[in-house]
Amino acid sequence: MRRWLWLLLVPAMPAWASDALSDAEATVWLNRISDAARSVPYEGIFVMQMGDRMQTVQVENRPQGTASETRLVVLDGKPREVRCSRQESVALDWNAKGERLQRRIGSRHFPDLLPKDVGNLVKYYSLIPGSTARVAGQDCQIMELVPRDKYRWGYRLCAEQYTGLPLKAQMLGAQGKPMLQYAFVKVREGVSGLDSSMRQVKVPASNVVQAKSPVMASQLPPGYSKVIAVKRKLPDHDTEVEHSIYSDGLNHISIFVEPAPKHMVDLEGESVHGLVNLRTRKVGSYQVTVVGDAPAAAVEMVAHNLVVAQ
Amino acid sequence: MTMQANYAVSEADAEQELWLSAMFDGELDDNTATHVMNRMPRDRQAQQRWREYSLIGDAMRGCAADHSRLEKRIKDALAAEPTVLAPVAKQHRQPVYWAAAAAAVVAITWTVLSVAPVAVDEPGPLASNAPTSTLLEHSGFAEGVAQNDVAPYLSAHQDYAFAVAGDPDMNIRPVSMTEGAQ
């Protein structure tokens, strides 16, 4: 019942609305959408499209108090399963050698894309309501998060009219074109009981530890702050790397720090559709790789303001 | 119109084609260039031809031309120029220098128009993805190796940010980045 009360709280949306909402109105909307992804029990199938790639994913969410337990199963391509709960997030991969279980250092996934604290979003994005649409047979309200500066990509969400659950999410590039998008093709409220194939898994001891990075960014794009810093082993790497993540709540930038090899080459790269940008450079005696699902300006700013921590 | 008249017009067109083409290629001598520069403002057909040449050049170079926007940008830039309150004394130059300067301006303007990427739309508050670092020569650099080298970082980042997005196809280049920090 509590889920429906938000309809009274959210300001009525006129059909012609196209201007940015006030900060107070935007906060109400974003809080609702953020909460719905965790507090609404649901199960369904969504499609993820990034460039030319598509993946179909089965998802089910069981609210548990203020948190939730979510299971995502990739239905095509390489088998993969992700489980997120309040305590931890793990990923199961299957390959020729068998099952591989890894802890993830975050629990972000569609449709749970917005942070719990939406204050930062209101500061750095305008929220513009759009028209109503229909996704997976359900009516939803389009809401667009438009960046206020050049350091972040925008998002277009379509929130289910009664619960606020995002049924569709698009990450928008510089020209407002979708670079990454998720959309439910089938979704229903409620969970039909534990799937028989959803057996309990024994989670291994953490392979990541909190760390203090020897290299830090002296200047960050506005609104970005450090989320976590861990020491972890990457595939094909002999030594551990320090992995720090900075975020504004929607865009994320990773910094990987490791001892520099003898002959290193500075690199820059961008994904085919511009979503991901990368810079590798030498700072002191370290090789630092900056990767972000953020505009080049943001990744560039971090990469050019790296200093060895005193 | 008679066949003779048609032929005469075609011949005039052909001549115009020749000097416009030579102008684009910077092959006119100073005197002829001066003559052409003087003629252009009065010759609407030549102006039209010049625009068509520009569009063809842009199309061949794969640039999306938006000259109206470019003209606006130039006008805006000129409007933003500081007003000279104390102009320097006018210098008397030989006409040949003016012709050479005019030819040089035409050549440079054409070069800039040809090679400058033309924005299709203003990016507004959003970012451009244009890389700002200096590219090095690709000699000896295996892009496949770089792609493999960066794959673990991409995977680790994507796993945090998206859970199921997978690794994107990356265009990786070696660069020389100015070390701004120690």
User: What confidence tens digit (pLDDT) does each residue in A142-158 have?
Assistant: 999 999 999 999 999 99
User: What confidence tens digit (pLDDT) does each residue in A166-188 have?
Assistant: 999 999 998 888 999 999 999 99
Most confidently modeled range among A75-84, A166-175, B150-159: A166-175
Mean pLDDT of all residues belonging to chain A: 86
Distance of residue B141 Cα from the nearest chain A Cα, in angstroms: 10
Question: Which residues of A fall within a CB distance of 8 Å from B174?
Answer: 265-267
Mean pLDDT of all residues belonging to chain B: 59
Mean pLDDT of A47-62: 90
Note whether A175 and B124 are within 8 A (CB): no
Rounded CA gap, A9 and A12, in Å?
9
Residues 111-170 of A with CB under 8 A from B: 146-151, 153-154
Rounded CA gap, B108 and B113, in Å?
8
Element (H, E) at A36: helix A23-39
Residue listed under structure tokens 């551990």: A240
A254, A268, A293 member nearest B173 (Cβ): A268
A146, A269, A306 member nearest B172 (Cβ): A269
Mean pLDDT of B133-152: 55
pLDDT of residue A254: 95
pLDDT of residue B96: 53
User: What confidence tens digit (pLDDT) does each residue in A197-239 have?
Assistant: 445 555 555 555 666 778 989 999 999 999 988 888 887 788 8
pLDDT of residue B125: 37
User: What confidence tens digit (pLDDT) does each residue in B36-77 have?
Assistant: 777 777 787 777 777 777 766 665 655 544 555 556 666 665
Parallel, antiparallel, or unpaired for β A267-271 and B170-176?
Answer: antiparallel
pLDDT at B159 over 90: no
pLDDT of residue B136: 39
Domain ranges of chain B: 7-86+93-115, 134-176
Q: With an 8 Å Cβ cutoff, is A226 touching chain B? A: no
pLDDT of residue B79: 61
What's the CATH class of domain A209-308?
alpha beta
Element (H, E) at A254: strand A252-259
The pLDDT confidence band at residue B144, using thresholds 50, 70 and 90, is: low
Domain ranges of chain A: 2-189, 209-308
Instruction: Supply φ then ψ for residue A215, to 5 degrees.
Output: -125, 135
Structure tokens at A163: 């619960």
Q: With an 8 Å Cβ cutoff, is B156 touching chain A? A: yes
Look at A165 and B121; give whichever has higher pLDDT. Answer: A165
CATH number of A2-189: 2.50.20.10
The pLDDT confidence band at residue B121, using thresholds 50, 70 and 90, is: very low
pLDDT at A265 over 50: yes
pLDDT of residue A202: 59
Q: With an 8 Å Cβ cutoff, is A223 touching chain B? A: no
Flag the least confident range among A80-84, A183-187, B164-168, B171-175.
B164-168
pLDDT at A36 over 80: yes
pLDDT of residue A128: 96
Instruction: Supply φ then ψ for residue B110, to 5 degrees.
Output: -65, -40
Look at A175 and A30; give whichever has higher pLDDT. Answer: A30
Mean pLDDT of A288-293: 95
pLDDT at A24 over 50: yes
Closest CA to A84 of A66, A111, A104: A104
ipTM summary value: 0.83
Closest alpha carbon within chain B to A102: B159
Closest alpha carbon within chain A to B181: A307
Flag the least confident range among A92-101, A164-173, A280-289.
A92-101
A106–B172: do the CB atoms touch at under 8 Å? no
0.80 exceeded by pTM:
no
Most confidently modeled range among A68-77, A134-143, A268-277, B25-34: A134-143
pLDDT of residue B21: 74
Flag the least confident range among A27-41, A88-102, A204-218.
A204-218
pLDDT of residue B46: 78
The pLDDT confidence band at residue B1, using thresholds 50, 70 and 90, is: very low
Q: With an 8 Å Cβ cutoff, is A282 touching chain B? A: yes
A121-B162-A108 Cα angle (round to 5): 60
User: What confidence tens digit (pLDDT) does each residue in B67-119 have?
Assistant: 555 566 666 656 655 544 444 444 444 555 555 555 655 555 544 444 444 33
